Amino acid sequence: MKVKTSELSGVQLDWAVAIAEGLPFKGMVVDEELNPLRYHNDWKSAGSIIEREGMSLEFRPMGSMHEWVALSSIGDKYAGGETPLIAAMRCYVFSELGEEVEVPDDTP
């Protein structure tokens, strides 16, 4: 199924980042033994990508709501999210795979 990059979260986002990195991701099952990479909420996993890609992160308060925005190093791609890691990983996937990705049907 096609999913907009701006809507990826959780395991779907982890899967898309792994694909963009050229790493194996053994199904969409939430299992740390199978899929130890948790890009959407683990600075150790995602931090090296943010640094390598030279991304900038910005917090944008909007009244009672807020959003984090990640901008690629050349400034032509950006993405938002509830947390800095979600925004950054969406930005990375958008830069590498495009505005939509084909996610496996066994998505939780």
Q: Is 10 within the bounds of a domain?
A: yes
Q: Is 48 within the bounds of a domain?
A: yes
Residues 6+ apart with CB under 8 A from 4: 99, 100
Q: Is 24 within the bounds of a domain?
A: yes
Q: Is 107 within the bounds of a domain?
A: no
User: Does the model's pTM come out above 0.75?
Assistant: yes
Q: Is 49 within the bounds of a domain?
A: yes
pLDDT at position 5 is: 97
Print the domain residue range for 93: 2-102
Q: Going residue by residue through the chain (108 aa), what tens digit of pLDDT does each one get?
A: 899 999 999 989 998 999 999 887 665 555 555 556 789 999 988 999 999 999 999 998 877 778 999 999 877 899 999 999 999 999 999 999 999 999 887 655
Q: Is 80 within the bounds of a domain?
A: yes
Domain count, the chain: 1
What is the rounded distance in angstroms from the CA atom of residue 34 to the CA atom of residue 105?
Answer: 18
